[in-house]
Structures are given as C-alpha cells and as structure tokens.
Chain A
Amino acid sequence: DTEVTQTPKHLVMGMTNKKSLKCEQHMGHRAMYWYKQKAKKPPELMFVYSYEKLSINESVPSRFSPECPNSSLLNLHLHALQPEDSALYLCASSLRRPGTNTEAFFGQGTRLTVV
C-alpha cells in the first residue's frame, strides 16, 4: 500500500461551521504534513508532524488545528474559516522528515470551499 488517503474529497462549509479533514497512510511513515494550495500556485507548507508530535507550524492561524492521534492518521480541524481559506488541502507523508533523502507521498487532496 503506497497510498495517502484523504477524506472528504470535497467540502463546502459556512464561516461558522466546524469541520475536519482526515488523512491516513499505512506505509509506516513517521512524518506527515499538511499543505495548502491555491489555484495555479505551488503548495504551501502548513504543519509538519514527526513521530506524532507537531514539529513545525508555519505561522498558521489558529482557526486551523492539526491533530495526529496515531502514526497512521492526521486530522485538520477547521473552525470559523474565511472565504480566502478556500483551497486544495493536501496531506503528505514521508519515511523521514524533509531535508533528508526521503520521498514524499501526497494524497489527492480535499477541495475546500468556504461560503
């Protein structure tokens, strides 16, 4: 199994809603990432988890709250988002953290629309 699975594929939410994005991998990878990608732009790193601990937060607003319940699962909790938060949210995993020779595997993404 060389897949990173993200659910849901599409999500529409209001600015007062609370929702969660889910990411799962069963490759034994110990680093997991959340990226945000706006149309026609490269992905921007949001968070890095290493061995289930948050190691990097790229100054992301607190309305985005990551969680890593176990080594296979990564969540992104969303609350009080703004329309400008609409984007493709990509999860990725790697055997080791970037900066080492480690290949990143990406999920198909969740297309989020905030109305």
Chain B
Amino acid sequence: KNEVEQSPQNLTAQEGEFITINCSYSVGISALHWLQQHPGGGIVSLFMLSSGKKKHGRLIATINIQEKHSSLHITASHPRDSAVYICAVSGGSNYKLTFGKGTLLTVNP
C-alpha cells in the first residue's frame, strides 16, 4: 500500500511570498497528481507528473522519482491561491488514486 505524506499540513503566507508544499510517497508510481480544492468546492487538477518538472503560470511542480518526492511551488502568491492542495499518486496494478491529507494554504493580503 502506498503511503502519501504531505508537509506542511497548514501554511500561512503573505501575498507575494514564494510557497513550497512537499509530498513524499513510499512505493513506486506511474504518475503523481497535484490537485487544488477551494473550501466547499470541487477539485481542480493542477499537474500530472511522471518525471522532471512542469510549469503553468505561477505554479511549478517537480518530481524526483529516485527520492520518491515531489514539490509544488507557487511564485508571487496571491489571496486567491488560498485553498487545500492535495498530492495523489497512481501506479502499477493499483487502480486507485492514493491521496495525501492535503495542505491548507492561506495567503493574506
């Protein structure tokens, strides 16, 4: 069974700060997903990674397969970035997405 650990659980930042959220997993995977969920809302897929690095606007996601570790970075954070960020992994014969517990990000103006 894959264990997915995220850190930190809660993160408060000032507008404009650079944010990093970390995700570690225990078993080899075929893909890692970063998801965003606003309070009471649905889930938005931000990235799917199997290697290297991806960038979309102010968001950057990296993955190190050997270290079984991924990071999500937000540059020039904004209050609208306030949400729960969830790391999830899929792989092998496991048909399930295994979710981390999420990181609650609050960006203050």
Contacts and interface: CB of A to CB of B under 8 A. Distances in A.
A105 B36 CA distance: 11
Nearest to A58: B96
A109 B45 contact: no
A111 B39 CA distance: 12
A42 B101 contact: yes
A94 B20 CA distance: 28
A14 to B, nearest CB: 23
B97 A98 contact: yes
| Number of chain A interface residues as a range | 20 to 34
B48 A106 contact: no
A59 B48 CA distance: 28
Interface stretch (B61-69, B71-79, B85-93): B85-93
**Centre residue among A41, A99, A106 by max chain B CB count within 10 A:** A99
Nearest to A98: B90
A97 B42 CA distance: 20
B42 A90 contact: yes
Interface in B46-73: 48, 50
A109 B41 contact: yes
B35 A45 contact: no
Interface of B: 30-31, 33, 35, 40-45, 48, 50, 86, 88, 90-97, 99-102
Interface of A: 6, 41-43, 45, 48, 55-56, 88, 90, 92, 97-109, 111
21 contacts: A41-B101, A42-B86, A42-B99, A45-B96, A55-B95, A90-B42, A90-B43, A92-B43, A98-B90, A99-B92, A100-B30, A101-B48, A102-B48, A103-B31, A103-B48, A104-B45, A105-B45, A106-B35, A106-B43, A107-B42, A109-B41
